[in-house]
């Protein structure tokens, strides 16, 4: 090992290289690296935020959807109820109407029966009278026997 001025030369070269490295090499490189680091961190955070927002939005969507479904169900139920009511009402009205018609018809029939009976009664009394006249061979005074006739008529 013989030492010579190479020692000094190497020291000087070393100092110059370190100085250059410190001035022109290290700062831009480490700066770029740190900046990129920051950007990546930020990007990851943004992605996570986006993910969270998406989840929230999805939760809200499903909530809204459930609500909407419930409302629709309610509306349908109400509509069905209303329809049932309308049908029932119509049935009642129809029944009333039918009753009315039936009553009218019954009344009509009764009236006709009564009038027919009255007629029949009158005819029967006439026939009875004429029959009696033939039997007795004489005229029966209707007025005199009115009481008897009426009794007869009432019996028919």
Partner 1 sequence: MADSYANSSEYIKHHLTNLVYGQKSDGAWGIAHSPEEIKEMGFWSLNLDSMMFSIGLGLFFLWIFRRAAKKASTDAPTGLQNFIEMLIEFIDTSVRGSFSGKNPLIAPLALTIFVWIFLLNLMDLIAVDHIPWLASLMGVPYLKIVPSTDPNITFGLAISVFFLIVYYSIKMKGPGGFFAELAFHPFPKFMMPINLILEGVTLIAKPVSLALRLFGNMYAGEVIFILIAIMYSGGWALGFFGGALQLVWALFHILIITLQAFIFMTLTIVYLDMASQTDH
- Per CB under 8 A, residues contacting partner 1 are 1-11, 13-15, 17-18, 20-22, 24-26, 28-33, 35-36, 39
Helix axes 26-136, 146-155, angle to 10 degrees: 140
Cβ nearer to partner 1, comparing 10 with 115: 10
Give, in order, the Cα–Cα distances in Å from 85 to each of 52, 63, 72, 88, 123. 49, 33, 20, 5, 56
Cβ nearer to partner 1, comparing 26 with 98: 26
Nearest approach in angstroms of CB 24 to partner 1 is 6
Give, in order, the Cα–Cα distances in Å from 72 to each of 60, 62, 68, 69, 81. 18, 15, 6, 5, 14
Q: Which residues contact 125 (CB under 8 A, 6 or more apart)?
A: 149, 152, 153, 156
Cβ nearer to partner 1, comparing 33 with 101: 33
Cβ nearer to partner 1, comparing 18 with 87: 18
Helix or strand (DSSP H, E) at 21: none
Nearest approach in angstroms of CB 14 to partner 1 is 5
Nearest approach in angstroms of CB 65 to partner 1 is 42
Nearest approach in angstroms of CB 46 to partner 1 is 15
- Which residue is it, tokens 């001035």? 23
Nearest approach in angstroms of CB 33 to partner 1 is 6
Cβ nearer to partner 1, comparing 28 with 141: 28
């Amino acid at each position: 090992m013989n030492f010579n001025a190479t020692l000094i030369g190497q020291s000087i070269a070393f100092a110059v290289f370190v100085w250059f490295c410190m001035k022109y090499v290290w700062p831009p490189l480490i700066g770029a690296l740190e900046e990129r680091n920051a950007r990546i961190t930020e990007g990851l955070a943004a992605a996570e935020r986006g993910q969270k927002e998406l989840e929230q939005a999805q939760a809200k969507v499903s909530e809204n959807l459930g609500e909407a479904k419930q409302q629709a169900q309610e509306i349908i139920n109400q509509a069905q109820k209303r329809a049932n009511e309308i049908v029932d009402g119509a049935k009642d009205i129809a029944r009333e109407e039918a009753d009315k018609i039936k009553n009218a018809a019954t009344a009509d029939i009764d009236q006709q029966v009564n009038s027919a009976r009255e007629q029949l009664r009158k005819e029967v009394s006439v026939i009875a009278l004429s029959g009696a006249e033939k039997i007795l061979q004489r005229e029966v005074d209707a007025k005199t026997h009115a009481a008897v006739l009426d009794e007869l008529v009432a019996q028919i």
